[in-house]
Amino acid sequence: MQYFILLIFFLYGLVFGSFFNVVGLRVPTQSLFTQKRSYCDTCERTLTWRELVPVWSFAVQKGRCRGCSESISPLYPVMELTTGLLFAFTYYLTGFNSELVLGLLLIALIIPVTVSDIVYRRIPNRLLLFFSPFFILYRLISPLDPFWNSLAGAGGAFLLVFLIILISKGGMGIGDLKYYTLFGFVFGLGHFLLLFFLSTLYGALAGGIMMKVKKLGRKTKIPFGPYIGLAALTVFYFGDILIQWYLNLFS
């Protein structure tokens, strides 16, 4: 039964992953609901249901549109698979409880923000504004201990990242500031500090790899939203374990 439920979550994740990818691509251009049905971004042809099956359609069509033969962004199958795996993994770790709701909300925010930041170098205000009430409501129903930790996390995140923006003169963007602040509210101050450390670690490692592989210069700007999102998921899944390990290490 457990494996069946995991499969259901994975399949739902594939479907929602396809939608999240579209959201991330179209919210920044304000074209999300310009057509009632999905369409090719190049030729704008309305897609049939056979072209909308997550992952499978991309593989069968060899990554190209059936109408204009233009390449389809590999972000579609990658984000579909990623969301499917994250949905299943979240259920596997949490089961059916309030933490499952928080995990799915985080995924629903992080995937489209990641897509948007990769493609447009933007973290859309519309996405953050849309999801903020859900996270606020969640923390009202399931508050942190102590209850004011959410406000401390949001305030600490805002001050820390704002100072970094001032000192680095644009090393981070306002979108990153808002993104961090929202996660600070969700996780509280202690877990936010872990999140911030992990995101900078992930970003530094990825930047170093890209500098070697793609021969990028040190001043080349890379989207930081994906690493913030990855760090947020790491904290959600393993934050308590990592903090306990750190405390034991220095006790």
Chain segment 167-199, per-residue pLDDT in tens: 887 678 899 999 999 999 999 999 999 999 999
Statement to judge: residues 185 and 90 lie in one domain:
no
pLDDT on residue 170: 66
Element (H, E) at 49: none
Q: What's at 48, amino acid-wise?
A: T
Expressed as residue numbers, the domain containing 113 is: 1-122
Total domain count, the chain = 2
The confidence band for 240, taking pLDDT boundaries of 50, 70 and 90, is very high
Instruction: Answer with the one of 91, 122, 153 that is the final residue of a domain.
Output: 122
CA–CA separation, 179 and 35 (whole Å): 29
Is residue 129 one of the residues assigned to a domain? no
Q: Average pLDDT of 108-122? A: 95
What is the arithmetic mean of pLDDT over 40-50?
Answer: 68
For range 66-87, the mean pLDDT: 88
Identify the DSSP state of 71: B
81, part of any domain: yes
Query: Same structural domain for residues 106 and 157?
Result: no
Dist CA 128 CA 99 (whole Å): 20
The CA distance from 120 to 149, in Å, is 33
Q: Which pair of structure tokens corresponds to residue 227?
A: 């690493």
Does 167 reside within a domain? yes
